[in-house]
Every structure is written in C-alpha cells, then in structure tokens.
Amino acid sequence: MKKLHLTDRIFLESGDCKNLDKTQQYAMLRMFQGQNVFLTGEAGSGKSHVVKLFLENTRSTVTVIAPTGTAALNINGRTMTNVLMSSPVHFKFKLGNKCKNSDSIPDKIFVSDIILIDEISMIRMSEFEILDKALRKFTGNLDQSFGGKQIIVVGDFCQLQPVYERKFEFDYYKRIYGGEYIFQTDMWRDANFENIFLNTIHRQNDNSFKEILNELRFGVLTENNFNLLAKRFKPLASPDDKTICLCPTIKQRDKFNALAFKDNPEPAHTFNRKINGSVLKPNVAPLTVKLKNNQKVMVNRNIYDGDSLLLVNGDVGVIKNINEDTNAVEIDFSISKEDHKFKRITLFHAEWSEWANYAEKMKNSKYKHKSAKLGSIRQMPLVSAYALTIHKAQGKTLEKVHITNDNFFAPYQFYTALSRAKCLDDITLEYPLSPDMISVDYTITEFYQNLQTANITDFNIKEHIKIENHEIIDLDFVDFYVRYCLNQ
C-alpha cells in the first residue's frame, strides 16, 4: 500500500472530501493509497464526482480512458480506440483523427502512474486484453497485471453493454472466457480489484423514482411502481429546446431529428463537404449538412480557439444566424453553458484530418511514435440535437427526457435512459409501458449479488490519515504554517 503524501492527507481532511458520503470517502482514500479499485454503484450515485475530485487532487500522473468520445470528454480523457491506436502492440498502420499533441500519445500511457477507465461496462474484452499486454510489454513487468500500474475502473455493469463490431470477435471471447463481460476475464481476476459500491443516490431526490430505478436494475417492478411509470406515457407533440429525446437506435434518432427539422419553418442552408488529399474514410463527415435558424444543434467534435478548448463534443446550443457566404453559423450555447462567454459563438468549417499512426522500433529497442498526414475533410461540425441515442447519453444528467420506449435491443437500455433524469416528473414516454421493455442480463445480476465489497461500517477517514508520529493532521496548524511561510 502506497504511503500517503502530506498533500494527499491535507486534501483528504479538506472540506471537499468531508462533503462526500462515507463510501465515497473510502473510495477516495483507497485510490490515493495506490489500490486497484472497481468503483461501481447505481446510476446517479456520484461515481463521476468522485473521479473528477480524485483527478483534480492526485499528485500522480493519470491516463484517463473511456469507451466513447462523449464519455472521454466528460472526464477530460481519451477514448480506448485512441489509446490502442497508439499502442505499439499493433504494428500495422491504423487510421484515425489526429489529436492535439499526438506526438506524445504513446509516452503518456506508459509513463503514467495510474490508468483510470470510466464507463467500464462498455469496454470490450479485446480492448482490455490489448491494454494489459501493451502495459506488460513496455514496462517490462510481464508477470504483473497491467505491467504493475495502478488500475482504477469505474462504472455500472447494469447499464449499456459493449458493442462488438464483428460477430467473430464476440464469439471468440465468449468461447475463451465463457461470457461477454470484462469481469469474466483473467485480466479482471489478475488485477485483484477492491470492489467499492456507492450506495447513496445523489442525482435523484424523488424517493419513488429511486425505488423504480433500483427495481429496474433487477428486472422486476412492483405493480404500484409499474403504474407510476406507466402514467408517464405522453407522446411528444413537437420538439422543444429543453427536452432531449433518447432513442435506442440511430435510425430512430435520425427519424426524430428529421421530423423536428421539417417542423422548423425557417429556410434550410446547405453546407457541402470538402476533401483535400487522399482520404480513405470520407464518411467521418457527412456529404451535406443542412441547418436552419432556431434549430437545436450539438457540436460533434472539439472546437479550439488557438490552443484553448472552446467547445467540446456534445455541447448543445441553438442556431441564431447562418451565413453561407462566409461558411459561418452563430450559435447560442446558453442552454448548456452557464458562463456568459459561451452564449454566442460563430463556428466555421472544421477539419477532420486522416492520419496513419504507427510505432517504429529504434536501435535501443524502444519505440517512437510516427504519423503521416494522408488528407483532410472540411465540414460544419454540427448535428441536430433534438434526439440522441441512449448510448450517446450514458453518463449525462438531463433536465427533460422523452424516451422512445420501443425496440430496445439490449438489456438495461430502458434503465439507462430513465436514470439520466433527476425525477419522474422530468420523464415522458412515447409509447405505453409494457413488461417486455424491462430487460436485464442475469449474468450481471448474479455478478452483483456475489460481489464482495469493502466493509466500511466502522470506517472513519480521520483514523486512516495519520502522519508518522500517528497524530491526525491539524489543518489549522497547516494553514498557519503556510501563511507564515508566505509572509516570510
């Protein structure tokens, strides 16, 4: 167990940490102590808050990984695909968007003290295995899980499952591990995670809604709660700026956005895609983007102002002015950004660059990151935002949620969609509620029933934050000492 540094102790005794519930405090302590941790809990239990607080205060270098771009940006991390593309375990050319400062991509993960993976339920077993092998190889610790790095995984397996692009990949791992989840793998067992289950819900204050969500995790609703939820059946007459429609499939999302676009009486403006050089995957940006004034839109890539990050993938605003001559769109982001400087921003065509990324072995047996630009695509980085897929919304908290509750094709989709809201009154359903919409995977149910979690009944964080002479840190003295030093 890693010894706590003085600054770690000061944070753990600070007001920010004291405001956490007891289980969150315990999780924070164990992460600071270098323990491999599986931080889990129901939707809204504060997992993301604990992670953000840890990242803001740890002295260690951390590589933060998530399965999707939206999830990665929520915690200022990188996608698993981005990390694996830079891994020299793959010697073939890999194509993808080049990130800022990408020359340092391979170095960051291998020199990091900690690897933190968010939304673990959506990570594929193949990705987990490649990451494990890459870290073992480049640390030289071949017999240690993830090369001896501290691993923190965060998420709820009762939410969305991983998506396998190729059926043979899913069949291969299912045959090897006997299932489709990371917790069924040797890598998971070898990591020897301490399981910490956050059991206090912070997102929702509505006790009836909390009870409904808890029952949905296990696939059973009492008659009373089923009737309460069924009363939320209220088809959406027309889209509005405050309500987000959550759809199980991309097809449903596109259909809903198209209807909202058609209902908008403003004239349409068309932006055409422009390609320079050789591009093997032109569909990364659409051929045309059609926009209207007063349309709710979402930015679908990071937008920089010089070296400063101005907008992130997922920011939502309303179009106020369109100028086709200058390829410019003025957008009011006040519905998603409280800071006044984000209210009105003019966007121009953004560039998607296609790169070949690979690792070249040097004479000293080390690897150097190489990249070569193939070409670029320019297009307006906006999509209609009246509807999102449930997959895109995982990890978000939404004010008003309308769910197209039909055609759920995977367990926990309904639960994930419902849990984005803060209370039952913020939810409406497009179709009448039926029992077949409530779907779970009993492999996951059994996993949580058998999960051995940390016993924190008698946990008191002060008793665990002692300096070498076994005295609790006196923050008043620390404050006095810091002020004294500054005055000198």
C-alpha closest to that of 481 among 6, 4, 2, 72: 6
Residue 400, strand partner residues: 243
Q: What is the dihedral of CA 447, 452, 457, 459, to 10 degrees?
A: -120
- Quickly list DSSP for 55-117: HHH-SS-EEEEESSHHHHHHTT-EEHHHHHHT-TT--S-EEEEPPTTGGGHHHHHHH-SEEEE
Between the ranges 42-46, 71-75, 356-360, 401-405, where is the mean pLDDT highest? Answer: 401-405
In a 13 Å sphere around the CA of 109, the CA atoms on its Cβ side amount to: 32
What digits encode the pLDDT tens for the residues 71-91? 776 777 777 877 776 544 433
Compute the mean pLDDT over every residue in the chain, rounded to the nearest whole number: 80
Which one-letter amino acid corresponds to residue 356? A
Give the rounded percent of residues in the chain with a pLDDT score beyond 90: 25
Cβ count near 194 (within 10 Å): 17
Residue 450 φ/ψ, nearest 5 degrees:
-100, 0
Stretch among 56-70, 138-152, 364-378 having the lowest mean pLDDT: 364-378
| pLDDT value at 100 more than 70 | no
pLDDT value for 225:
93
pLDDT value for 361:
53
Cβ count near 312 (within 10 Å): 16
| Three-state SS at 264 | coil
Residue found by looking up tokens 């001896």 in the block: 148
Distance from C-alpha of 72 to C-alpha of 307, rounded to nearest angstrom: 19
C-alpha closest to that of 264 among 299, 240, 298: 240
What digits encode the pLDDT tens for the residues 337-383? 555 455 667 767 676 665 554 445 555 555 555 556 667 778 888 88
Average pLDDT (108-135) is: 87
pLDDT value for 418:
92
Burial 139-152, CB ≥16 within 10 A → b, else e:
eeeeeebbbebbbb
What digits encode the pLDDT tens for the residues 155-186? 999 988 887 777 777 788 788 877 788 998 88
Distance from C-alpha of 138 to C-alpha of 107, rounded to nearest angstrom: 10
pLDDT value for 471:
46
What digits encode the pLDDT tens for the residues 310-334? 777 777 889 999 987 888 889 888 7
pLDDT value for 161:
84
**Which structure tokens are listed for 327?**
């390829």
Angle CA(283)–CA(250)–CA(424) in degrees, nearest 5?
145
Distance from C-alpha of 135 to C-alpha of 148, rounded to nearest angstrom: 8
Average pLDDT (26-47) is: 91
| pLDDT value at 127 more than 80 | yes
pLDDT value for 98:
33
Distance from C-alpha of 399 to C-alpha of 421, rounded to nearest angstrom: 6
Stretch among 278-287, 335-344, 389-398 having the lowest mean pLDDT: 335-344
3-state secondary structure labels for all residues of 145-205: HHHHCEEEEECCCCCCCCCCCCHHHHHHHHHHHCCCCHHHCHHHHHHCCEEEEECCCCCCC
**Which structure tokens are listed for 297?**
């839109």
Handedness of CA 441, 446, 451, 457 (dihedral sign): positive
| pLDDT value at 141 more than 60 | yes
Distance from C-alpha of 161 to C-alpha of 119, rounded to nearest angstrom: 10
What digits encode the pLDDT tens for the residues 414-468? 999 998 888 899 999 999 999 888 888 889 999 999 998 877 877 877 777 764 3
pLDDT value for 357:
46
In a 13 Å sphere around the CA of 124, the CA atoms on its Cβ side amount to: 19
